[in-house]
Amino acid sequence: DGPTRRTMRSTGSLLVDNIGELVTNSTGGAGGPLGLRRDAALLVEDGLVAWVGPATDAPAADRRIDAEGAAVLPGFVDSHAHLVFAGDRAAEFAARMAGEPYTGGGIRTTVGATRAASDDELRATVRRLRGEAMRQGTTTIEIKSGYGLTVADEARSLRIAAEFTGDTTFLGAHVVPAEYADRPDDYVGMVCGPMLAAAAPYARWIDVFCERGAFDADHARAILACGQAVGLGVRLHANQLGPGPGVRLGVELGAASVDHCTHLSDADVDALAGSETVATLLPGAEFSTRSPYPDARRLLDAGVKVALATDCNPGSSYTSSMPFCIALAVREMRMTPAEAVWAATAGGAAALRRDDVGVLRPGARADLMILDAPSHLHLAYRPGVPLIRQVLHNGVPQ
Ligand code: NIG
Ligand code: FE
């Protein structure tokens, strides 16, 4: 901070100048929960934020981007996405819009298509969706397996996912595949044994779809414990389609995040409120399955840390757009725009236990977006409009 920096000059430095509203998410009281700064500038060096301060004190730099008074935010952290798959389920979506319920049964359709696809086909899909997300401001993304459900197909799903992110998640326990339908215990044993062994080298996290019709609490606990034993962090699909034990199980196991949280009891909310576990809400799934949205206000008012993510997948939520999720959270879930923007950035970072992203302060990654708008409010105020003017990832314009 301050005038000494003005004289410093390092090779490759980049100044983002003339920022009308800077969302820092940096705690310290000033600027509210988003740590807003007006008329700011930000210096990038070596892919990291090197300095943040008033535009009038901006240091010299090798290159300069003029934000022209627009808002600048940390890049979105999408902490829940299923990008490794083949095919789509547009017909299933159309049937839902005509009144069919969502059951998760279509997952097996995608499993069939994914097993039949080549590595290059899967890689091309991940690349396409990762590109879509980046253009909409997502600089950090978690990517799950879960459409292979054989040892080889789960391992290759994670190997491909790891080409795109460090936040890879082993979801071998997505559903019991058809060939194990009459012996689910054997499938759980396989997930904990050879499948985990093949997947773990490529995975940071382990996840289970804990839901009626997928895995019950005993199976989920066993699988997550096996993952923890080999050093994977725990996250969980919980309480999406109905009430159940998933949220409390996640808290019990010290999960970084329990995701969906659509059907919560008071005991679930209390458990979350007394924990470090983030509640990750995925309103794209409720939109696309025409279901009631999770009660974000109840969670926030109880003091639960909330994240927003896309759940991007070909079945329940085929969107890669964090701005769309923010707009839904504000309009349909009564989150304030500031709460929704925090949840889509710092909240996602908390859900991935990352302190280097979701925040713009010296030392953090220079992952940020410049909006075509003067304020973060516009993300919800102008739904469906491409407001992301420019994205920097590790300090590099995309
Ligand atoms: O998070 N709920 C489980 N998994 C995904 C849906 C997967 C699918 O329908 O293909 C979800 O909504
Ligand atoms: Fe999901």
Beta carbons of 368 and 73 less than 8 angstroms apart? yes
Its sign, for the CA torsion 252, 258, 263, 264, is positive
The amino acid sitting at 392 is L
Is 209's C-beta closer than 6 angstroms to any atom of ligand 1? yes
How far, in Å, is the centroid of ligand 1 from the Cα of 104? 6
- Could you tell which of 79, 80, 82 is best to mutate to test the pocket of ligand 1, judged by most ligand atoms within 8 Å of the CB? 82
* Domains annotated on the chain, with CATH: 4-75+358-397 (2.30.40.10), 77-351 (3.20.20.140)
What span, in angstroms and rounded, lies between the C-alpha atoms of 393 and 140? 9
Is 285's C-beta closer than 6 angstroms to any atom of ligand 1? yes
Q: What are phi and psi of 393, to 5 degrees?
A: -120, 120
Closest CA to 44 of 376, 368, 341: 368
Q: What are phi and psi of 177, to 5 degrees?
A: -70, 160
- Could you tell which of 78, 170, 209, 239 is best to mutate to test the pocket of ligand 1, judged by most ligand atoms within 8 Å of the CB? 209
For residue 15, the SS3 value is: strand
What span, in angstroms and rounded, lies between the C-alpha atoms of 303 and 299? 6
Is 259's C-beta closer than 6 angstroms to any atom of ligand 1? no
Q: Parallel, antiparallel, or unpaired for β 37-45 and 14-22?
A: antiparallel
Kindly report the pTM of this predicted structure: 0.96
Beta carbons of 11 and 50 less than 8 angstroms apart? no
Looking at residue 11, its pLDDT comes to: 56
Its sign, for the CA torsion 15, 20, 24, 30, is positive
Q: Which residues contact 239 (CB under 8 A, 6 or more apart)?
A: 211, 246, 247, 258, 260, 261, 262, 263, 264, 268
Q: Which residues contact 154 (CB under 8 A, 6 or more apart)?
A: 145, 146, 148, 170, 172, 195, 198, 199
How far, in Å, is the centroid of ligand 2 from the Cα of 375? 30
How far, in Å, is the centroid of ligand 2 from the Cα of 174? 9
Q: How do the residues of the chain divide into helix, strand and coil, expressed in percent and rounded to 5?
A: 35, 20, 40
Is 337's C-beta closer than 6 angstroms to any atom of ligand 1? no
Q: How do the pLDDT tens digits run along the chain, 398 residues long?
A: 343 444 444 459 999 999 999 999 996 767 778 999 999 999 999 999 999 999 999 999 999 999 999 999 999 999 999 999 999 999 999 999 999 999 888 999 999 999 999 999 999 999 999 999 999 999 999 999 999 999 999 999 999 999 999 999 999 999 999 999 999 999 999 999 999 999 999 999 999 999 999 999 999 999 999 999 999 999 999 999 999 999 999 999 999 999 999 999 999 999 999 999 999 999 999 999 999 999 999 999 999 999 999 999 999 999 999 999 999 999 999 999 999 999 999 999 999 999 999 999 999 999 999 999 999 999 999 999 999 999 999 999 99
Q: Which residues contact 61 (CB under 8 A, 6 or more apart)?
A: 9, 13, 14, 15, 43
For residue 80 the two structure tokens come to 């829940």
Residue 181 vs residues 174, 175, 177, 224, 244: alpha-carbon distances, Å: 13, 10, 6, 21, 22
Looking at residue 1, its pLDDT comes to: 39
For residue 317 the two structure tokens come to 């939520």
Looking at residue 5, its pLDDT comes to: 45
Max Cα-Cα span within the chain: 71
Q: Report the b/e string of 182-213 with b at 16+ CB within 10 A.
A: eeeeebbbbbbeebbebbbebbbbbbbbbbee
- Could you tell which of 89, 93, 103, 107 is best to mutate to test the pocket of ligand 1, judged by most ligand atoms within 8 Å of the CB? 107
ipTM rounded to 2 decimals: 0.95
How far, in Å, is the centroid of ligand 1 from the Cα of 226? 22
How far, in Å, is the centroid of ligand 1 from the Cα of 316? 5
Looking at residue 28, its pLDDT comes to: 73
Is 311's C-beta closer than 6 angstroms to any atom of ligand 1? yes
What span, in angstroms and rounded, lies between the C-alpha atoms of 334 and 340? 9
For residue 118, the SS3 value is: coil
**Among protein residues, the one whose CA lies closest to atom 12 of ligand 1:** 316
Looking at residue 9, its pLDDT comes to: 43
The amino acid sitting at 397 is P
How far, in Å, is the centroid of ligand 2 from the Cα of 104? 10
The amino acid sitting at 339 is E
* Partner residues linked to 306 by β-bridges: 279
Helix (H) or strand (E) holding 376: none
Q: Atom of ligand 1 at shortest distance to CA of 147?
A: 10
Report which bound ligand comes closest to the CA of 241.
Answer: 1
Please enumerate, by residue number, every residue annotated as part of a binding site for Zn(2+): 80, 82, 237, 311
**Among protein residues, the one whose CA lies closest to atom 6 of ligand 1:** 316
- To the nearest 10 degrees (0 to 180), the angle between helices 151-161 and 107-116 is 80
